[in-house]
Amino acid sequence: NAGVTQTPKFQVLKTGQSMTLQCAQDMNHNSMYWYRQDPGMGLRLIYYSASEGTTDKGEVPNGYNVSRLNKREFSLRLESAAPSQTSVYFCASRGDTGSSYGYTFGSGTRLTVV
């Protein structure tokens, strides 16, 4: 099925470790996004990429880096994980006909930093 694929689904890290969350979409979308979801906070935008080769900070970028590897893939890297980064991370992509088509979300990565 067409959509957004995230890996891994679950991860436990120790404080200070690094890891990369992977995201790929097969819908030929230009725009891709990384959100984090925390209880009572809704979804907050970490980084986004409006097109291949461009990335921009969202609402909560500190402690994260991103790479738009090609049109399909958009990865999120935690260089030195902290307990405050324990969260559920969602990748999304958006159809290109303006913003009227909403986003398609992956199933999420549940990250715990101990």
- Residue number with CB closer to another protein (76 or 92): 92
Whole-angstrom distance, CA of residue 35 vs CA of residue 90: 5
Whole-angstrom distance, CA of residue 79 vs CA of residue 26: 27
Whole-angstrom distance, CA of residue 45 vs CA of residue 72: 19
Q: What is the DSSP letter of 97?
A: S
Taking CB under 8 A as the rule, does residue 69 contact another protein?
Answer: no
Taking CB under 8 A as the rule, does residue 18 contact another protein?
Answer: no
Q: What mask of x and - would describe binding to another protein in positions 22 to 61, judged by CB under 8 A?
A: ---------x-x-x----xxxxxx--x-x-------x---
Largest CA distance in the chain: 42
Q: Tell me the residue type at 59.
A: E
- Residue number with CB closer to another protein (15 or 51): 51
Taking CB under 8 A as the rule, does residue 13 contact another protein?
Answer: no
Contact indicator for 21, 109 with CB cutoff of 8 Å: yes
Binding test (CB under 8 A) with another protein, winner from 69, 83, 101, 112 = 101
φ/ψ of 59, rounded to 5, equals -75, -35
- Residue number with CB closer to another protein (32 or 81): 32
How many residues form the binding site for another protein (CB under 8 A)? 27
**Rule CB under 8 A: which residues touch another protein?**
4, 31, 33, 35, 40-45, 48, 50, 58, 90, 92, 94, 98-108
